[in-house]
């Protein structure tokens, strides 16, 4: 189980990281820039970019630790909501919903509910992007959040697929060689 102390340590280590490459790729497909929702915003690595591109940004996370980073950023177009992912999707006018490495830490059943709710939360032409862990991802310990390509494609049903990309590679970490297995996705509401 990941503790608040673990998250705080991770947030602090990653505080000066650049926005994720998938988000940068996604922004090329976004047509309107009124509202962006950053699901699982953490230490605001991606939110910092979104506040420069959108009129309004909602940074959503279940952790109260996030408030510190929101206060430090002090962007007038940023609203922090300490809510679940499903509660964060109680809108119908998002131009972008970004879930950068957030969904892998959510139970599969909740992920299915999130994907069902996404089309109702996006404007026509709105984009949903993020990552899911694959079945051979080393970080997956309880098999409740891993996916196959067929499962990712099924989750995307009803949305236009701009990108579903499977990446699998071995990476060297402090604790030895680990297998990274993820799916990147960019989906559009038609």
For residue 183, count other CB atoms closer than 10 A to its CB: 26
Q: How far is CA 34 from the centre of its chain?
A: 18
pLDDT reported for residue 91: 83
Pick the CATH number of 4-188 from 3.40.50.150, 3.80.10.10, 1.10.150.120, 3.10.180.10: 3.40.50.150
57 pLDDT tier (thresholds 50, 70, 90):
very high
Which pLDDT score is estimated for 172? 72
The domain locations on the chain are 4-188
Q: How confident is the model at residue 105 (pLDDT cuts 50, 70, 90)?
A: confident
Please report which confidence band the pLDDT of residue 100 belongs to, taking 50, 70 and 90 as the band edges: very high
Q: Are 121 and 166 in contact, with CB atoms under 8 Å apart?
A: no
Whole-number pLDDT of residue 48: 94
Query: What is the reported pLDDT for 142?
Result: 59
pTM over 0.85: yes
Handedness of CA 35, 89, 81, 130 (dihedral sign): negative
Q: What average pLDDT does this structure show over 71-85?
A: 93
Span 40-63, mean pLDDT?
94
Work out the number of other CB atoms within 10 angstroms of the CB of residue 167: 11
Q: What is the pLDDT of residues 138-147, one digit of tens each?
A: 766 655 678 8
**How far is 127 from 122, CA to CA, in rounded Å?**
7
Is there a contact between 37 and 96 (Cβ–Cβ < 8 Å)?
Answer: yes
Higher-scoring residue by pLDDT: 42, 143: 42
Residue 53 pLDDT exceeds 80 = yes
């Amino acid at each position: 189980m990941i503790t608040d102390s673990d998250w705080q340590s991770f947030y602090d280590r990653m505080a000066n990281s650049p926005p994720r490459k998938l988000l940068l790729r996604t922004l090329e497909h976004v047509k309107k820039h009124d509202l962006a929702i950053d699901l699982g915003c953490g230490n605001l690595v991606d939110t910092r970019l979104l506040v420069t591109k959108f009129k309004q940004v909602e940074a959503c996370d279940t952790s109260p630790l996030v408030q510190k980073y929101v206060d430090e950023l002090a962007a007038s177009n940023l609203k922090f909501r300490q809510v679940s992912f499903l509660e964060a999707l109680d809108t119908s006018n998002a131009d972008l919903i970004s879930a950068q490495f957030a969904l892998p830490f959510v139970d599969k059943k909740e992920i299915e509910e999130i994907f069902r709710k996404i089309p109702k939360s996006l404007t026509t032409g709105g984009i949903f992007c993020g990552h899911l862990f694959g079945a051979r991802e080393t970080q997956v310990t309880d098999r409740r959040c891993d996916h196959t390509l067929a499962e990712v494609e099924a989750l995307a049903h009803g949305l236009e697929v701009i990108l579903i990309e499977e990446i699998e590679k071995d990476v060297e970490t402090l604790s030895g060689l680990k297998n990274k297995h993820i799916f990147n996705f960019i989906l559009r509401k038609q």
